[in-house]
Amino acid sequence: MNKENLTQFFQNTNLVSLSTTKDIIDHFQYKIIPKNQFQLKAGRICDEYLFIEKGYMRTFAHDVDGNEVTTGFCSQGQLTFEVSSFFNRTKSKENIQAMSDCEGWYITYDQLNSLFHGSAEFREFGRAVLVKGFAALKTRMLSMITETAEERYELMLKTNPEIFQNAPLKYIASYLGITDTSLSRIRKELLKK
């Protein structure tokens, strides 16, 4: 496997030079995550900063009644890791699981920290990743408060249509904060329009 997509990921940010990118990606290791395998299980400390080369993953937690609640979807060309667990070195309350056979490149917490300390460019990249992630989290949190389920569904359909080819409807419904039945009703109503 070559690291062309990983290289492109860093280069697209315009924050890291090509020479620094080459130094950084030398530390990443290739990994295969078979369908249904966990990249991270709740109760463990997240130690891998993973760039997804191929495949689709979901993040989820269990509510107080033990039900799975989907918290996110991760696909090709994206980073996936549990931020709080990774940086605070605490046990994760979230799971990361492959929904298809996945391939990726990862770096450990210790390796990442070493690179952060050694490269101002990489620190700036890391800051940008965290800011983007925080902004997305805030947007999602506010949408759960200020938008209807129909609006959230329509936005997902417009911005992330690939989710509907890769994730079962029960995971999508959970992510949208609604039941499977409500999602079916919304889909039927939109087809009538």
Residue 118 CA to residue 154 CA, distance in Å, equals: 44
Who contacts 166 (Cβ-Cβ below 8 Å, separation ≥6)? 56, 73, 75, 99, 100
What's the whole-number average pLDDT of the chain?
A: 94
Q: Over range 136-144, report the average pLDDT.
A: 93
Domain of 67: which CATH number?
2.60.120.10
Does residue 146 form part of some domain?
A: no
pLDDT score, position 59: 97
119 in Cβ contact with 24 (< 8 Å): yes
Q: Over range 163-182, report the average pLDDT.
A: 93
Does residue 156 form part of some domain?
A: no
In which domain, by residue range, is 86 found?
4-117
Does residue 31 form part of some domain?
A: yes
Quote the number of domains for the chain: 1
Does residue 190 form part of some domain?
A: no
Whether 53 has a pLDDT exceeding 90, the answer reads: yes
Q: Using only C-alpha atoms, what is the Rg of the chain?
A: 18
- Side chain identity at residue 106, one-letter code: Y
